[in-house]
Amino acid sequence: MTEASRIQPIRIFDTTLRDGEQSPGVALNHQQKLEIAHQLARLGVDVIEAGFPIASPGDLEGVQRIAREVRGPIITGLARAGRADVEAAARGVEDAERPRIHTFIATSPIHMAKKLNLEPDAVVERAVQAVTLARSFVDDVEFSAEDATRSEWPFLARIFKAVVEAGATTINVPDTVGYTTPDEMRALFAFLKGELPEHVYLSAHCHDDLGMAVANSIAAAEGGARQIECTVNGIGERAGNASLEEIVMAFHTRRDVYHFETGIRTRELYRSSRMVSRLSGMPVQPNKAIVGDNAFAHESGIHQDGVIKARETYEIMNAELVGREAAVLVMGKHSGRAAFRKALTELGYTVPEERIGDLFTRFKDLADRKGQIFADDLRALVDARTDVPQAFGLERFQVSSGSDMQPLAYVRLSTPEGVREATATGDGGVEAIFHAINAATGIAPQLEIYRVQAVTKGAEALGEVSITARHNETSLHGTGVDTDVVAASARAWLRISNQIVAGLGKSRQVTQGTV
């Protein structure tokens, strides 16, 4: 057997927009979810779980929009094993190029007894009914056994055989509470592979409660899984899900050990990570594998010396392979529009002509303040673009403060009806600017989470402010980027105000499904 013939393809099922969005504090609106979905398609994922359509009318609409507009990957919606859920999922994905319905029910003794209050026979019956109904809408149906890793293996085999006979084409085995170990996961998949027909796709969905989600996912593949469910940056409920970028690069870097390959375009990994972090408001820890700021940094003198002599001494991957560094010219205030456009192209951005002018103006302004502009600065400029209708635009602001005075903020906003101005005080400059914007817009969201981090390096580094706020039971997220943290805060807060006017945000009317 040749080396090439031993390589097995692995499907990447991305659930950033469903399981990832269930992370506390994450509030993605329709436009943001669509933007991420398009990026996931560019990344090359095989399946996009676009949402949980029964959760709310807004979630259903979001799934429908992704199904209509994103081409390439399979688009799936999650559904509990019940008629209303399955019918909502069917409506959500009906316009997809490649639709799938993903239905689930719990199978562990504790879940069946304490949560469902159902006997095992009733659980099997409900699962079969759900899959049968789903198959009446689509040809591609996935079935998940919630809390599978704490379920009894004979019962798993029984329910999986029943749903496969009813028409399920993919069988997912979730480690819902992050309880299992790699050895257990590998053995479970080997057992199921021997019990189920060869044409069935076995899938793994692992949570990271014990820090083993990636290891368990890889072990599942070794046991026979041919689909892995994961999220960008590993975001998700509690401690998160298996990290897409870590799984993909483990297979790529250690193909000699694992003999698996994915269809992921690895150079899109870093861009995907940055986008999800920016829109979700969840920063990536500096020491995060593959996409963290320190992943390719070398502080130790011995390490630095080794890398200078031969990069492979301390780097097992090339930073360019994951899109971390591109061959971009060092830009400055004398750089022209052609060089600016070329740099964006080399970073993988396709920017419409009508947006180049605004971006170039902001680039020149940043260059005047910062001097040299590097790849991360350009990424931050493009990623901070506005994707929300602008009812209010920030024309001017000023904050006065001192040791013996309460901070006072002034803002001047543009609106379709003309200019609005307001002043307000606060405990600090940021709070004062928020109060002034509230006074000018007549909108007063409730701040829930405020984060600030440097997204580029140097004394004049760009700072990114990430805010989560609530307004009338709707959760909203806004970001702003500037060398001035107060300015970035004002942009982020104004973005939230514009989302409120546009009717965007995330609300939940029923409890989300957990797989």
What residues form the annotated binding site for Mn(2+)? Answer: 19, 205, 207, 241
Q: Residue 5, class by beta-carbon neighbours within 10 Å (0-12 exposed, 13-18 middle, 19+ buried)? A: exposed
Question: C-alpha 454: how far from its chain's center?
Answer: 20
Inter-residue contact 184 to 192 (CB < 8 Å): no
Q: Which residues are CB-neighbours of 130 under 8 A, at least 6 positions away?
A: 79, 80, 81, 82, 85, 86, 103, 105, 143
Radius of gyration of the chain (CA): 24
Q: Which residues are CB-neighbours of 164 under 8 A, at least 6 positions away?
A: 171, 196, 197, 200
- Find, among 197, 195, 74, 72, the residue nearest to 139 by Cα: 74
**Exposure letters 157-167 (e unless 16+ CB within 10 A, then b):** eebbbbbbebb
Could you give the CA distance from residue 164 to residue 401 in angstroms, rounded to a whole number?
A: 67
Strand ranges inside 11-140, DSSP E:
11-14, 47-51, 74-80, 99-106
The CA-based angle 30-32-37, given to 5 degrees, is 95
Q: Which residues are annotated as a binding site?
A: 19, 205, 207, 241
Segments in 325-423 forming alpha helices (H) = 337-346, 353-370, 375-383
**φ/ψ of residue 240, rounded to 5:** 100, -175
